[in-house]
Amino acid sequence: MSSVEKLSENQCWELLRSTEVGRLAVIVGDHPEIFPVNFAVDQGTVLFRSAQGTKVTSALSDASVAFEADGYDAQTGLVWSVVIKGHATSFRAIDEAVDSFEVEVRPWQAGKKERFVRIRPHEVTGRRFPKSTQDN
């Protein structure tokens, strides 16, 4: 059995900065939904852009959200996963919006993505482990 390394919060943020796609988990009505999003790390938060819709409305509700990103380092053979739990907010102050416009968040899907949403974490966890070479 392989060992799993628990990552420090700083290691988690470093790994998040190395990728640009994650998954946002929100509650829609009475069930969970997961949405892929392009994101950037900004001032100890996760920032993404989207059009107004179910994803944004649900993220900005009173319910907590979860965000997950993962990756694989072919050189070391290690897989990593980082999960953030927190609350999403939208910009309220113009100076916050101006600071974040300098952060590159480029959605892959075409269309207007005028809403900036920020996930402010209350928990950041991560783990890293060797990729299995066994066939199951």
In this structure, the strands spanning 40-42 and 31-38 are unpaired
pTM of the model: 0.82
pLDDT tens per residue, range 65-95: 999 999 999 899 999 999 999 999 986 444 5
